[in-house]
């Protein structure tokens, strides 16, 4: 299911944007549809109220917890079963974080990752992506979502951006706390730098140009939209290019107007500065020069004021050399960037190993000393042999 399909279903039941907004807020935040002086029973149209139990059952069936695997330090891996029986993984992270999957399997085929060993099986719909957040929020608070689980978000970009748009608006998650990860695909940079809405998520169904509807009146003219809500006093919503004025307090949080596209933070899976080695480690990633990838990422970082998070899975004897450190320093010098070193998480059947803790610490310290912010991010699941994709692989094997 996609969010745009859900919106169309609500529209067909007589829902106006304010009704859609309240339902999507309640679902994505695991909260009530009721508001002070405006209970859902009198707010939603009758047809929607009658269909609501079926809609809620369908949404609940998008993602079901199959098993939970604590991994220490506030981390837990969730094996999630989708409506068709396919499984993906989500990870509860410390400080309100959640890592979600965007595909069943992956087509990139990173040699150190279990997720792509069987290739790409199918895409996740945007509602299935959000459903992982809903499932996690039923267990604990979630204030940050990283799209770094199973799958390559660039290969499912429409669904990923729809999910990001909803989570950054109705889902009440700060835009910089939505982190889109990619191995590097020009389509990602093009879409993220575009001012338009993600495909299918413009509530007014108007193409946007420079942040306003293309067919909207000139800036000095105002567009009056009357939101007629069931059993409530109709209110006039007066909008200008810059947003809404004259809104009633009840509608202020529920308006669906010219909301700008949510701009997530960007994580770029780099793993090496050597082009030939990167082609071996990420065999089906786009063959783009590493310097070009960094320049595209830097342009986005400067445009959004969010530093790019460079992801680097540290593998002993492969990409943990002094030569790599020197090239990282050259590549990222003066860039708005953070280097995240992630020690390799053991994968069944692979001979790769993680470097020693001392070597990992030395690499981070060396970059920090050169003015390049470097952090060590432990890969959740080391203790339970649960690197990304392993829980799903074991569950599939057991069937």
92 CB contacts (<8 Å, ≥6 apart)?
74, 75, 76, 77, 78, 98, 136, 139, 140
What CATH number does residue 71 fall under? 3.20.20.70
pLDDT of residue 209 exceeding 80: no
Active site residue 324: no
pLDDT at site 396: 56
Going by pLDDT thresholds of 50, 70 and 90, the confidence category of residue 388 is low
- Res. 223: pLDDT tops 90: no
Residues 157, 79 share a domain: yes
Dump pLDDT digits (tens) for 119-173. 899 999 999 999 999 999 999 999 999 999 999 999 999 999 999 999 999 999 9
pLDDT tens column, 251-279? 444 444 467 899 999 999 999 999 999 99
- Which of 75-89, 225-239, 356-370 is least confident? 225-239
Question: Do 224 and 298 belong to one domain?
Answer: no
Share of the chain above pLDDT 70, in %: 79
Whether 231 is in a domain gets the answer yes
278 and 359 co-located in one domain: yes
Indicate the pLDDT class of residue 196, thresholds 50, 70 and 90.
low
Beta bridge partners of 291: none
73 and 193 fall within a common domain: yes
Q: Considering 99, 110, 113, 388, which one is annotated as catalytic?
A: 388
Domain range enclosing 240: 211-252
- Please indicate whether residue 113 is annotated as part of the active site: no
Run of H or E residues at 119? none
Residues 216 and 280 in one domain: no
Q: Are 173 and 241 contained in the same domain? A: no
User: Are 216 and 162 found together in one domain?
Assistant: no
Q: Are 101 and 124 in contact (CB under 8 A)?
A: yes
Quick check: is 121 in a domain? Answer: yes
Residue 211 pLDDT more than 60?
no
13 falls within a domain: no
Same domain, 91 and 217: no
Q: Is residue 297 part of a domain?
A: yes
User: At residue 231, does pLDDT exceed 70?
Assistant: no
**349 in Cβ contact with 389 (< 8 Å):** no
The answer to whether position 39 is within a domain reads no
Band (pLDDT 50/70/90 cuts) for residue 183 is: very high
pTM of the model: 0.82
Judge whether 239 lies within some domain: yes
Q: Return mean pLDDT, the chain.
A: 84
What's the structural domain count of the chain? Answer: 2
Question: In terms of domains, do 150 and 268 share one?
Answer: yes
Q: What are phi and psi of 10, to 5 degrees?
A: -65, -40
Measured between alpha carbons, how far apart are the two ends of the chain, in Å?
26
Please tell me which residue in 89, 162, 250, 324 is annotated as part of the active site: 89
Residue 236 has what pLDDT?
31
Residues 172 and 248 in one domain: no
In a domain, residue 41? The reply is no
């Amino acid at each position: 299911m996609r969010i745009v399909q859900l919106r169309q279903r609500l529209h067909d039941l007589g829902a106006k944007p304010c009704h859609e907004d309240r339902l999507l807020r309640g679902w994505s935040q695991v909260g009530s549809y009721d508001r002070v002086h405006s209970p859902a029973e009198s707010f939603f149209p009758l047809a929607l109220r009658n269909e609501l139990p079926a809609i809620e059952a369908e949404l609940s069936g998008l993602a079901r917890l199959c098993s939970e695997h604590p991994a220490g330090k506030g981390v837990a891996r969730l094996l999630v079963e989708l409506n068709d029986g396919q499984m993906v993984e989500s990870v509860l992270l410390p400080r309100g974080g959640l890592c979600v999957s965007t595909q069943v399997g992956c087509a990139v085929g990173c040699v150190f990752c279990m997720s792509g060993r069987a290739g790409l099986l199918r895409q996740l719909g945007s509602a299935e992506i959000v459903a992982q957040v809903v499932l996690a929020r039923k267990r604990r608070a979630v204030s940050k979502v990283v799209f770094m689980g199973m799958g390559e978000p660039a290969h499912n970009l429409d669904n990923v951006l729809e999910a990001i748009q909803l989570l950054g608006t109705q889902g009440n998650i700060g835009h910089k706390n939505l982190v889109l990860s990619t191995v590097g695909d020009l389509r990602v940079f093009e879409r993220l730098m575009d001012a338009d809405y993600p495909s299918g998520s413009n509530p007014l169904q108007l193409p946007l140009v420079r942040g306003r509807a293309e067919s909207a009146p000139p800036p000095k003219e105002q567009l009056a939209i009357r939101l007629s809500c069931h059993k409530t006093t109709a209110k006039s919503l007066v909008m200008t290019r810059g947003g809404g004025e004259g809104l009633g307090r009840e509608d202020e949080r529920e308006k669906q107007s010219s909301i700008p596209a949510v701009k997530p933070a960007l994580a770029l899976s780099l793993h090496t500065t050597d082009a030939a080695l990167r082609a071996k480690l990420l065999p089906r990633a786009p063959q783009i020069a590493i310097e070009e990838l960094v320049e595209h990422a830097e342009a986005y970082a400067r445009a959004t004021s969010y530093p790019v998070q460079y992801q680097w899975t540290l593998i002993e004897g492969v990409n943990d050399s002094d030569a790599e450190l020197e090239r990282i320093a050259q590549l990222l010098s003066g860039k708005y960037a953070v280097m995240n070193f992630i020690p390799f998480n053991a994968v069944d059947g692979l001979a790769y190993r993680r470097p020693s803790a001392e070597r990992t610490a030395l690499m981070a310290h060396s970059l920090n000393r050169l003015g390049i912010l470097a952090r060590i991010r432990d890969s959740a699941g080391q203790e339970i042999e649960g690197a990304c994709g392993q829980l799903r692989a074991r569950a599939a094997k057991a069937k």
